[in-house]
A and B are shown apart, each in its own frame.
Chain A
Amino acid sequence: MSETEAPAPIRVMVVDDHPLWRDAVERDLIQAGLDVVGVAANGREALARFPAARPDVIVLDLQIPAPDGIEVTAEVGRQNPDVRVLILSASGEQADVLAAVKAGATGYLVKSASREELLAAIRTVAAGDPVFTPGLAGMVLGEFQRLSDAPAVDPSEPRLTERETEVLKMVAKGLSYRQIAERLVLSHRTVQNHVQSTLRKLQMHNRVELTRYAIEHGLDTEDS
């Protein structure tokens, strides 16, 4: 790889059941020099096509014909954890967005986001960094708050450190990573790491919860 050679374009797959919307997003991405390696109109197509398309990022609508965006996110994560999922939701319904993030999505945008915002989000997600809107940060904060209010069942349950809570709170208050780094006298990278780790803990907690549910309901034994 020489210095002059441009890095390989980001490989993107677009999953949306509205053809007009899908085409518009696809056009924007191609114009911006991204490589659209596949499209799908529903969850079934998305899961069938993504292994061969090998995208870096899947731009995924939450409300698609079954399996829905949340299930697709979880399944993609199971099959290939290196593929990043960016949720693009029309309604931005809180419960759905939170469920998708818990299932493993790395970022979330509402569909009314501008072309520039979408492109920036795809680049961020492709680099492995989460795209947190202040709204999502508020929800994640609330979720950890709810968990710490509940009686501790398992001491190994992931909890946020004070620093992580502080960083997340600032994201929820609309500060950019750069501003947070400045205010807390940290490096930009450290701030990103904190945000990433809150997301990882949330997803880990989701898995712990699912496992506990499975054990309680005897789903882990063969004869249930």
Chain B
Amino acid sequence: MSPSPSPAAIAVENRLFGALAVLRVVVLVNAVGLNIYRRGNFDHPVAAVVCVAVMVLWTGVAIWAYRSPRRRTALLLVADLALAVALILLTVEVKGADFRATIPGSWIIGALLAWSAHYRWRGGLIAGVALAAADLSRRQELHQSDYGNAFLLVLSGTIVGFLCASLQQMAAEREVAERAAAMATERVRLARAVHDGVLQVLALVQRRGRELGGEAAELGELAGEQERELRRLIQAQDSVAPSNGTVNVTAELARLERLPGVTVSTPGFPVDLPALTARELVATARACLDNVKRHVGADAPAWVLLQAYPDRVELSVRDEGPGVPAGRLEAAAAEGRLGVSESIRSRITDLGGTAELSTGSFGTEWEFVVPRERGLGSSA
């Protein structure tokens, strides 16, 4: 029944015994005061003085002894309880058979709680029963209040013991959780180091390949693809989506960088949106990019920017058509591109947002604003 030697559990016990030390002094002062107040009740005043002196002495010894976990042996606890029981039993000799209050009075709570703290609920029960039995055994007549006090003694010893055990268990669990978290952090750190090494080599192969040309350039190209892929994976893993039906849209958008020429910019923090809203936004961006590929060129550069505000998100997709002058939109309409643009627009308006297309010397730019929370289709 000895407590598990987990450092967290020992720390909890130390704190409990620290508090108990204060309590011991309080109940001692109370007991000494009461005995002085009732000094007329003693048949043997000298014996009474000896008893009180023993209580004072033992309180000091107990406070010192319980301070160190090493000294909290069965011997100490048994001695503590035995002394409390003995003082109760001696009351009848010192005060006479008609005594009402025992000499130690509430001082015995020190021993009771020591058993609760050290041996949990079983210890509290045993100590409570022992003290209650000693108290009741020497009384001539049993008052209702005597029984009530004894019952409370047993009950509180057990409950405090149970609470002590719970505290120790919680502390131990927290310690395990902290260790697990520290290990996870360390694992992430190691994974980073490994990934970083791989990325370095891939980037180097890509670079050297480009310089050497020929077949080496092809190898370098392959390494470059893998490098981009791995980097995206790491970033996506960094922003693991929460499991409450929302999706981190920045991680989803980052996947679009797989398309040639596409750059995606997002805030550095995760932006969680309802799954449907996120899906529609990504699909919209993809539709815009497909449009760019078709009408500007397969490798044409394009930029996706996501901005997150508390009440809305703003998504922009820009391409760099070669300095298309005014009238591009009309031209686009003539080419039949407006049909595509209408389908893009309706995706966003279905989400309760707005879509705007502008064009000029800077290229063509879609700007979408979608409200957060209140999105019409966000009930997914």
Mask of A68-103 contacts with B, CB within 8 angstroms, 1/0 = 000000000000000000000011111100100000
A/B pair count, beta carbons within 8 Å: 118
Tell me which of A20, A90, A93, A94 has the highest count of chain B C-beta atoms within 10 A of its own C-beta.
A90
A189 CB–B CB distance under 8 Å: no
Main secondary structure of the interface of A (DSSP, over half): helix
In the complex, whether B329 has a CB less than 8 A from a CB of chain A is no
B47 within 8 A of A: no
Interface 1/0s, chain A 166-200, versus B by CB < 8 A? 00010011110001001100000000000000000
Give the contacting residue for A91; candidates B210, B231, B267, B302; CB below 8 A.
B231
Return chain A residues, CB-CB under 8 Å to B196.
Answer: 63, 90-91
Which B residues are CB-close (under 8 A) to A114?
A: 207, 210
Task: Tell yes or no: A138 within 8 A of B by CB.
Answer: yes
Write out, one digit per residue, whether chain B residues 285-303 have a CB within 8 A of any chain A CB (1) or not (0). Answer: 0000000000000000111
Shortest CB-to-CB span from A136 to chain B, Å, is 8
Q: Are B265 and A137 in contact (CB under 8 A)?
A: yes
Distance from B250 Cβ to chain A, minimum over Cβ atoms (Å):
9
CA distance A138 to B207 in the complex (A): 27
Please, how many angstroms separate the alpha-carbon atoms of A27 and B71 in the complex? 69
Which residue from A90, A145, A182, A183 sits with its C-beta under 8 Å from B307? A145
Among A90, A173, A174, contact of B199 (Cβ-Cβ < 8 Å): A90
Residues on A with beta carbons closer than 8 Å to the beta carbon of B208: 24
B 69-91 binary contact with A (CB < 8 Å = 1; else 0): 00000000000000000000000
Contact A173–B316 (Cβ < 8 Å): yes
In the assembled complex, B200 has its CB within 8 A of some CB on chain A = yes
- Is residue A201 within 8 Å, beta carbon to beta carbon, of the partner chain? no
How many Å lie between the Cα of A21 and that of B203 in the bound state?
Answer: 9
A62 to B111, CA, bound (A): 60
CB distance from A57 to the nearest CB of B (A): 19
Give B204-230 interface residues, CB cut-off 8 Å to A. 204, 206-208, 210-211, 224, 227-228
> For the complex, what is the distance from the CA of A93 to the CA of B361, rounded to whole Å?
33
Instruction: List the B residue with the shortest CB-CB distance to A170.
Output: B362
Contact A93 B234 (CB under 8 A): yes
Q: Measured between alpha carbons, how far is A169 from B201 in the docked complex, in Å?
A: 33
Q: Determine the distance from Cα of A69 to Cα of B328 in the docked complex, in whole angstroms.
A: 47
Contact, CB under 8 Å: A145 / B267? yes
Q: Is the CB of A174 within 8 A of B303?
A: yes
- The reply to whether A172 and B204 contact each other, CB–CB distance below 8 Å, is no
Across the interface, do B263 and A135 meet the contact criterion of CB distance under 8 Å?
yes
Q: Which of B199, B308, B318 contacts A142 (CB 8 A)?
A: B308
Would A143 and B267 be within 8 Å (CB), given that A114-B210, A182-B361 are in contact? Answer: yes
Least CB distance from B302 to A in Å reads: 8
Q: Is residue A146 contacting chain B, with contact meaning CB distance below 8 A? A: yes
At the interface, yes or no: B320 with Cβ under 8 Å from chain A?
A: yes
Q: Which residues of A contact B5 (CB under 8 A)?
A: none
Residues of B within 8 A of A93 (CB): 192, 234-235, 238
Q: Say yes or no: A142-B200 contact (C-beta < 8 A), given A93-B234, A94-B235, A174-B303.
A: no
Q: Write the nearest CB–CB distance from B47 to chain A, whole angstroms.
A: 54
Q: A182-B361, A183-B362 are in contact. Are A138 and B266 (CB under 8 A)?
A: yes
What is the bound-complex CA distance between A174 and B263, given in angstroms? 8
- Looking at the assembled complex, report how far the CB atom of B194 sits from the nearest CB atom of chain A, in whole angstroms: 11
Interface centre among B231, B268, B305 (most CB of A within 10 A): B268
**Chain B positions 305-338 with a Cβ under 8 Å from a chain A Cβ:** 305-310, 316, 318, 320
Contact mask A131-172 → B, CB, 8 Å, 1/0? 001110111011101100100000000000000000001001
Contact: B303 with A90, CB < 8 Å? no
Residues of B contacting A146 in the complex (Cβ-Cβ under 8 angstroms): 267, 269
In the assembled complex, which residues on chain A have CB atoms less than 8 Å from the CB atom of B231? 90-92, 110
How long is the Cα–Cα vector from A141 to B271 in the complex, in angstroms? Answer: 14
**B195 interfacial by beta-carbon distance below 8 Å:** yes
CB pair A134–B308 under 8 Å, yes or no, is: no
Bound CA–CA A33/B196 (angstroms): 29
CB neighbours of B362 from chain A (8 A): 175, 179, 182-183
In A101-124, the 8 Å CB interface with B consists of: 110-112, 114-115
Closest to A18 in B: B200
Given the contacts A21-B200, A21-B204, A138 and B305 also touching, CB distance less than 8 Å: yes
- Is residue B365 within 8 Å, beta carbon to beta carbon, of the partner chain? yes
Cβ–Cβ contact B264 & A135, under 8 A: yes
Query: What are some 7 contacts across the A-B interface (CB < 8 A)?
Result: A112-B203, A114-B210, A141-B307, A142-B267, A142-B268, A149-B310, A174-B320
Q: Given A18-B197, A175-B318, 11 other A-B contacts at CB below 8 A?
A: A90-B231, A91-B192, A91-B195, A91-B199, A91-B234, A112-B206, A114-B210, A133-B263, A135-B265, A143-B268, A179-B361
**What 7 pairs between A and B have smallest CB-CB spacing?**
A142-B267, A138-B265, A174-B303, A90-B199, A111-B203, A139-B268, A63-B196
